[in-house]
Amino acid sequence: MLKKLCPKYQAQSILELDFEELEKAGIKGIIFDLDNTLVEWKKDTLSSEVIELITGFKDKGFKLCILSNALERRVENVAQALNIPYVSRAVKPRKTPFRKALEIMGTNPEETAVVGDQLFTDILGGNRMELYTIWTPPLSDTEFVSTKAVRQIERLVIKRFRKKGFLK
């Protein structure tokens, strides 16, 4: 189980993502989590840096999709602002929403990355689908009550991964 929670790559922010490195890894599509990855929880205001990053990925020919457990209205607002498709109310880490995102982008698992801040949803779901998983710390400490509870367990897992040298 712990192996399925371990990301293939760790970035301190999505702004650290490198077009060339992802291309070298054979990545053609990227699935982004919404809350605390692209924007802070319950917010739908994108930073100019995130807009620039997403625009850069699109300009380089990457296929993009937002995959979120959040309600459609919020996800749709951000997706429309970025002009990319989305899947809302995803119930990650189930495989079905990841499959839907792959179908929307027209990519296969081996050429798709997923970027998110939660090991038990984004990374677990991505690893179950054999995607290239990228973990980033959450943008904010503000989050849903149940997420805060899961974060307690996540902290223990992260501590163990760091001790074993799997994470920085």
Domains and CATH numbers, the chain: 2-163 (3.40.50.1000)
Tens digits of per-residue pLDDT, 127-161?
Answer: 999 999 999 998 876 666 667 667 677 787 778 87
Give me the residues paired with residue 134 across strands.
9, 115
Cα 20 to chain centroid distance, Å, stands at 18
Q: Which residues neighbour 102 within 8 Å (Cβ) at sequence distance 6 or greater?
A: 29, 108, 109, 112, 129
Tens digits of per-residue pLDDT, 21-60?
Answer: 999 999 999 999 999 999 988 888 999 999 999 999 999 9
Nearest CA-CA partner of 160 in 21, 23, 1: 1
Report how far residue 59's alpha carbon sits from residue 29's, in angstroms, rounded to the nearest whole number. 13
Longest dimension (CA), the chain: 41
* Alpha helices by DSSP H, 12-138: 19-24, 48-59, 72-82, 95-105, 124-128
Give me the residues paired with residue 64 across strands.
30
